[in-house]
Chain A
Amino acid sequence: MDDQKIIELYWERKENAIQETSQKYGGLVTRIAQNILSSHEDCEECVNDTYFAVWNAIPDKRPNLFSAFISRITRNLALKKYEDLSASKRNPSAVISFDELDDCVSGTDSVESESESRRIESLIDNFLWQLEKEKRNIFIRRYWYFDSIENICHYTGFTQSKVKSMLYETRRKLRAYLEREGVEI
């Protein structure tokens, strides 16, 4: 079913909106949850919470890109759960993905105003739009979708060393870019 029709179902408060969403995007949101959480039960709970959150968010919102909208909700819910879980219930690949981001930051806690946060996010967007598409997508698969290196290799056909070196180079460039733009990293 077309995304706009699914959104209409939510606006009309029809319960089959969730069924249609699950049919179309169940695989996508489950994969995102699994990339972050290791336990099957936690993933299932996260996916169900996603549908509930979408049900509550529409109406009020009419997302343009429904797949990105629902993926973002899953990611946020899974990361919230990730914070509450013990290390054993976190997907090790997500832990490594987080650790890799250490290359881009100083590691010190900093207090950011709302406007400063928006500015940093806008800079990250600019940085990514300027990157080659291939490198950009691999970066997003790793740090937004939390895909493991093995899965990225499987999707792209690249070797692990190639993917790792692309990610390393992009992290290094992102850090330099943020520093150049005066962001306190």
Chain B
Amino acid sequence: MISAVHTLWARAWRGRPPQGWLLLVSLATAILMAAPVLYVGVRALAEDAERWTVLLDERIPALLWNTVSLAAVVGLSAGVLGLSLAWLVARTDLPWRQTLRWLVAIPLAVPPYVGAMTYVVVFGPRGWVSDIVGSTPIDMYSFAGAAFVLSIFTYPYVFLVAGSAVGRMGRAHEDVARSLGLGRFAVLRRVTLPLLRPATGAGIVLVVLYVLSDFGAVALLRYSTLTSAIYYQMGGFDTGAAAILSVVLIALTLVVLGVEASTRRRARFYESSGAAQSPRRIELGRLRWPAFIYVATVFLFAGLMPLMVLGYWTAQGLLIDGLDPRFLQFALNTLQAAGLAAAVAMFLAVPVVYLRSRHASVPAAVIERLAHAGYALPGVIVALGVIFFSLRLAPVVYGTALMLSIAYVIRFLPQAMQSASASLELVSPRIDEAARVAGLRPLGVIVKVISRLIAPGVLAGGALVFVSSAKELPATLLLRPAGFDTLAIRVWVEASDGAYHLAAPPALVMVLLSLLPLKWMLDRFREA
């Protein structure tokens, strides 16, 4: 009997069952990550059927339409922007393409709510343009305004992912097509673009997931989506409704992930490895300068202008009021909450990733998936989950700065996992075996050998978690304890009040902070 259980256990793990402690740590991590989200679902299902019908009839259709249409338009325009830029800088003889490759990635470092703020400053009613010209070309407080701002601050996702695919393309497919008599643009349309479709699609999925989760930008631009409705529902007297709307949003997110998974299965292309030659550089000819103007314009609107607005208002702020004396405390609070999240994420990522890699099996995959639960979900839902969860089960934690770090870990642990996992894949399992043969216990293998080898990847992942946490807005707004404002909070509070000279300094600090890991991300996507 016992031996039968043993056999089943071993079979589930494909003959390599993990050490008890490894399984325990990983499982605990996975449960911690998934629990708050499940709790939101439970809370929503506990609401009366009547509440559901009222919301389903009155609010959800409009919110769903607002959200889906925005996500679709932003996904499409960010896709076009990102793919065209990636192709232009990587494959053509665009002037100054090496520099431009950097410049057009900069918007990734600008949190969209900061970007939205700069657009209100310039194009809002009573903004700079309206002061000078008397009217504005675009109503920022509209669907168009929200779609525009989100597109220009999210296209770098597509740019990076599609860019890495462009970089990996060999010349074989295109050469064959040319030799069969296709013209240059026919090759582009019928060979190159289809080859890039999976990567572009993956980038667009990231954009769409972002749009679903965005709170700050749409709220500043006064556009309603499911996410902002959930936040404001929390501001009303009604967590039940917030939980119900959250379930709708979770369902929408799952649909997006499902579509992505199924398209990825259908569309796979392979480069024959080995003798792949890097592709020919395409001469743009007469289009060379128009193409340059296009790329430069994108940079102007998505990178230069926001940075100039932040620089201008930071200078104004320092001249008018000097630096807010509490600024240092805000920065320290950010450092504390995001730093703790990064440290914890680095510790937790290693066991889960190790389990997934060295004990590859269905249970290991399930654990890894669970640990991703918070990643695709908006910060508002994670915050809602952490609030419900901690109030009922861990009241000691409730209302402390620790809540913020917990929410950040739930939200961003997968960034540390992906980074650690990429490093671990490069370490042969034979090294583990060698270490065992040399007399190390399994724990010693991880601590003394593996951790050392994958340290750069883990640290890089920690840096990503740190930056993402420092920028995080909605969960921070909902979870911060009294007297614990972070830089992101200050940007939000001052920008909502129109005090741009006070909002700009912390915003600029966050943007500069986010530029640091950008170099690393660009390199990683080039190698990937």
Do the two chains bind? no
